[in-house]
Amino acid sequence: MIILAADAVGAVSPQWNQGCDGFPQKLLGFLDLELDVITYRVRRNGRIIHLTPTAFRLLYHLIKNPRRVYSRDELKNAAWPHAVHVGPRTVDVHIGRLRTALNAVGGHNFIRTVRSVGYALAE
């Protein structure tokens, strides 16, 4: 598996790579972060970060289009089944946990809060 380097503007870098088992792996990258949607692995600075399924879905949604501000409702719909009742502050709590997990391996916090709107990835 390769680690994607961020391009000049730090945009998402989707890429198909050949895995050791011969099957393709879909990687998304942002700055020093790599998200593998096939194996559900997240790496930052080459170190594996263990995320809950909900945190992974939130990060996946954010990394698909960084710099775009996603509302709490958009993130809620992306990360939880529609039959589950989720309050707006639940999203805030899970974003906080995601930040903690990502920052535990070093680097700056790149999940930006847009007051009264939602969240985005930013450099």
What domains sit in the chain, N to C, each tagged with a CATH number? 15-121 (1.10.10.10)
Phi and psi at residue 6, in whole multiples of 5°?
A: -70, 145
Phi and psi at residue 52, in whole multiples of 5°?
A: -70, 160
Phi and psi at residue 43, in whole multiples of 5°?
A: -130, 145
How far is residue 60's CA from residue 52's CA, in Å, rounded to a whole number?
A: 12
How far is residue 19's CA from residue 11's CA, in Å, rounded to a whole number?
A: 23
User: pLDDT tens digits, residue range 35-69?
Assistant: 999 999 999 998 999 999 999 999 999 999 888 99
Below-50 pLDDT ranges, the chain: 1-19, 24-25
